[in-house]
Copies of this chain bind each other. A is one copy, B any other.
């Protein structure tokens, strides 16, 4: 099976879901190489669009994502990666999930989750992009 990497400029979106709780933790993008590394190492490796390079999730925080299962969609252009996350959360803002805000009818985003860790204790000041 060949994934359609060309639709998003050589990358496919990869949804990260906690396989135990079902919670959607984040969305990243993968290049063919990052998918191969993810499969070979059993830990999620994205391709960072902002930095244009491979990005091992948890490389600085230790909050790696252990792969339980990789699913592919009907059009071969999106991945759903079910993981066992290591550590208290995946988000550089200190939350278990990056989707910790809900959009209201007024267009404002409201925080709907509790912080699960103190990000300043985990990340260096310049570490935002290397969570």
What residues make up the interface of A, taking CB atoms closer than 8 Å to B? 1, 7-9, 13, 15, 17, 21-24, 26-27, 39, 49, 69-75, 78, 80, 91-93, 95, 98-103, 105, 107-109, 112
Contacts and interface: CB of A to CB of B under 8 A. Distances in A.
A49 B109 CA distance: 27
Contact of A72 (B1, B7, B22, B103): B103
Contact of A98 (B22, B75, B99): B75
29 contacts: A1-B103, A1-B107, A1-B108, A7-B49, A8-B8, A9-B9, A13-B27, A15-B15, A15-B24, A21-B22, A22-B22, A24-B24, A26-B73, A39-B103, A39-B105, A71-B99, A71-B100, A71-B102, A71-B103, A71-B112, A72-B99, A72-B101, A72-B103, A72-B109, A73-B98, A73-B99, A74-B91, A74-B95, A80-B99
